[in-house]
Amino acid sequence: MPIDQAALFDRTAAGTFDEVYDAHFAYVYRIVARLLGRRDVEDVVQEVFLVVHRKLPTFEGRAAITTWLFSICHRVVGAHVRKERMQRIFFDVFRGNVEEIPSPLDPLQAMEREEAGARVASTLARLSFKKRVVLVMFELEGWSCAEIASALGIPVDTVYTRLHHARRDFAFLLTPHGGDER
């Protein structure tokens, strides 16, 4: 009985790509949005699923699929942040400093809840990427420090240190004095 290579390629320990996409799209979207902020989320989620499609046959199921997906999100968002930073630097150097045009606000979004959410997102965005990743995974996603260390490939003590500094910086940035941009 010959082996159907296409079927073998589409089926892994996690299921088919369509099964992974359907089951975990909301999770991936939430992780990317929290790590990246409100900009370019859809594009980065698409990049994540391109990597998932390419790498799914190598997933062996040694860890939870969400751990594997988080590590992909982490790498893709990190690459996006670095690319964006370099684009800003090149733009500033070669075209002069130009302020970003603020996006128009929908009047219905002026509710108190939206303001609080925007303030938290803005404060998260001001943290360094390494601190933001640990804070989001621990506080918002409920991961343990050991799980975060495993997903990021760093020592558990480093996770504790980053989490401590992230919490401190986040609390300071939420204060009126910390929110001042100088």
Q: Are 152 and 159 in contact, with CB atoms under 8 Å apart?
A: yes
| Overall average pLDDT of the 85-103 stretch | 53
User: Side chain identity at 85, as an amino acid letter?
Assistant: R
> Residue 116: its pLDDT value, please?
72
Matching CATH topology for 1-103 and 105-182?
Answer: no
Q: Where are the domains of the chain?
A: 1-103, 105-182
At 58-81, the pLDDT tens digits run 998 888 999 999 999 999 998 888
| Overall average pLDDT of the 49-55 stretch | 95
The 3-class SS string of 102-165 reads: CCCCCHHHHCHHHHHHHHHHHHHHHCCHHHHHHHHHHHHCCCCHHHHHHHHCCCHHHHHHHHHH
Structurally, at CATH architecture level, domain 105-182 sits in: Orthogonal Bundle (1.10)
Name the CATH code of domain 1-103 (choices 1.10.1740.10, 1.10.287.110, 3.40.50.920, 1.25.40.20). Answer: 1.10.1740.10
pLDDT top residue among 3 and 156? 156
> Residue 107: its pLDDT value, please?
53
Task: Return d(Cα 31, Cα 41) in angstroms, integer.
Answer: 10
pLDDT at 105 over 60: no
pLDDT at 100 over 60: no
Of 115, 106, 92, give the one whose Cα is nearest residue 179: 115
pLDDT at 180 over 80: no
pLDDT at 133 over 90: yes
> Residue 99: its pLDDT value, please?
47
> Residue 1: its pLDDT value, please?
39
pLDDT top residue among 38 and 147? 147
User: Side chain identity at 168, as an amino acid letter?
Assistant: R
> Residue 89: its pLDDT value, please?
59
At 2-45, the pLDDT tens digits run 434 334 334 456 689 999 999 999 999 999 999 987 778 999 99
In what helix (H) or strand (E) does residue 171 lie, and over which residues does it extend?
A: helix 156-174
At 78-88, the pLDDT tens digits run 888 888 776 66
> Residue 10: its pLDDT value, please?
42
Structure tokens at 125: 């965005």
pLDDT at 52 over 60: yes
